[in-house]
Amino acid sequence: MENKEPLIITDKDDMRRWSRSARAQGKIVGFIPTMGYLHEGHLSLVQECKQHSNLTVVSIYVNPGQFSPNEDLSTYPSDFIGDINKLKNKADGVDVVFHPKDLYDYGKHDGVVNARRNDLEEGKVVSCVENSGQGHETWVRVERLEKGLCGSSRPVFFRGVATIVTKLFNIVEPDVAVFGKKDYQQWRIIERMVRDLDFGIKIIGAELLRDPDGLAKSSRNVHLSPEQRKKIVDQESLEVLEEIKSPAVFCIAAWFGNVRLLDNMEIVV
């Protein structure tokens, strides 16, 4: 079978027109939002999405709204050409890659726009809001679910995630969206947001994929040394849980070197 070349769309209106045309033809549109630097975990989401849809859209967009000043926006890995090749070579590929330049309004004046884009490239953008009040100022929050776990140490992260996913949903207008359970709190927050805001989108949580050494696949794993990878595996322990009487989930966020990693394990009784 010849590899399928995805259609690459960068304009919001073009993306919306494509999706509406597909749905008008009775097609079910599936969607996987990503920040790029794709690995087998992302590709497994594509395969899951294909089980629930006729057409598949993958977005590649590094969202500045979910990074704080001390986090790794400027060093977040990227390989757009490699990503396209991976999507093209996976089974029959995907139908569309949505790759916008940016999805925030940085203000009306050219000087402001250029300054904000320079900040974006240097990893400095946090709120996308100018002191004058120009630019992006609307945020989506899932107030209770975002407070615990990762939200305790990353106060702007889930606000940024919920906002950009809302924007992507409004642009792509999918019928189905797939999120990996590795980011367990994120998946639950998106589920709740979709319920609360009456999005007509089915949210599917896909099981996480692991490397042979047991580490959950992540774009940030590239920054880990072999020694750090081993310490992640050695420190996994369930000894403190003596008895589980109802379904539970263990959620872990840990720093190894300069890399922040997420993992989780669902327990069903």
DSSP state of 27: P
Q: Buried b / exposed e across 220-253, counting CB within 10 Å, b at 16+?
A: bbebbeeebbeebeeeeeeeeeeeeeeeeeebbb
Pairing status of strand 248-256 against strand 259-267: antiparallel
- Considering the candidates 39, 42, 52, 109, report the single residue annotated as catalytic: 42
From residue 101, alpha-carbon distances to 1, 30, 104, 105, 186 in Å are 32, 22, 10, 12, 24
Distance CA 79, CA 4 (A): 19
What number of helices (H) and strands (E) belong to the chain?
A: 8, 8
Residues in the chain, how many? 269
Report how far residue 89's alpha carbon sits from residue 95's, in angstroms, rounded to the nearest whole number: 12
Q: Please name the residue that has the structure tokens 């992507």.
A: 168
224 contacts: CB under 8 Å, gap ≥ 6: 232, 256, 257, 259
Whether 42 is catalytic: yes
Residues classed as catalytic: 42
